[in-house]
Amino acid sequence: MTERTFVMVKPDGVQRGLIGEIIARFEDRGLKLVGAKLMRIDQALAEEHYAEHTDKPFFEDLTDFITSGPVLAMVWEGQDAIAQVRTMMGATDPAESAPGTIRGDFGLDMGRNVIHGSDTEPGSAEREIELFFDEEELEDYERIDEAWLYE
Ligand code: UDP
C-alpha cells in the first residue's frame, strides 16, 4: 500500500552533517520525497509533537533538545513507507540498533538518536504530517524509476 510518513533529521543529525547521507538512504531505497523544510521547532510544537510522552521523565530533556537547533522535516512516500522507514531507522536506542540502520550506524546514545520517523500506530503519520506541513507544501509527482521499482 502506498503511504506517506513523517521523517525528521533531529538537531544532532543536522549539526553532524548527516542530512545528505540520510536523504540518500531513503532515495536509494526508492522512497519518494514529497515535502521538506529546514526549520526550528518552537516549544509549543515540540510539546504537541511529543504529546504522548508528556508524563515521561525524559520529556523536558527531549523538548529542550528538539528545539535546540534546526531540524529537517520531511515527508516520504512509497510502498509501506511507514514501516520501511522505521526499519531503516533502527531501534529507539542506538545502542540496541543493528548496524546498517541509521541509528545503528550514526548514534550511540538514546537522547541523541539522529532521526525521527512516524510510528506504525494507525493515524500517527497523518497526524505528524499535518502538524508540520500544509497540504500545498507537499508535491504529487511520479519518479521516473517507479515503473522499475514496483511490479
Ligand atoms: N527518548 C529518550 N529517553 C527514553 C525514551 C525516548 O530520550 O527513555 C527520546 C528519544 O529521542 C526518542 C524520543 O524520545 O527518539 C521519542 O521516543 P519514542 O519512544 O517515541 O521513540 P521513537 O519513536 O523515536 O523511536
Write down the ipTM of this complex. 0.97
Any domain includes 36: yes
Predicted confidence band of residue 35 (pLDDT cuts 50, 70, 90)? very high
Whether the CB of 110 sits within 6 Å of ligand 1 = yes
Any domain includes 135: no
Q: So what's the pLDDT on residue 108?
A: 97
121 contacts 83 by C-beta, under 8 angstroms: no
Query: What is the domain count for the chain?
Result: 1
Any domain includes 136: no
Centre of ligand 1 from the C-alpha of residue 107, in Å: 13
Mean pLDDT of 61-69: 98
Q: Whose CA is nearest to atom 11 of ligand 1?
A: 111
Any domain includes 16: yes
Q: So what's the pLDDT on residue 132?
A: 98
Centre of ligand 1 from the C-alpha of residue 63, in Å: 11
Any domain includes 134: no
Any domain includes 106: yes
How many CA atoms does the CB half-sphere of 134 hold within 13 Å? 2
Q: Whose CA is nearest to atom 2 of ligand 1?
A: 111
Domain that holds residue 58: 3-122
Rounded percentage of the chain residues whose pLDDT exceeds 90: 100
* CATH code of residue 69: 3.30.70.141
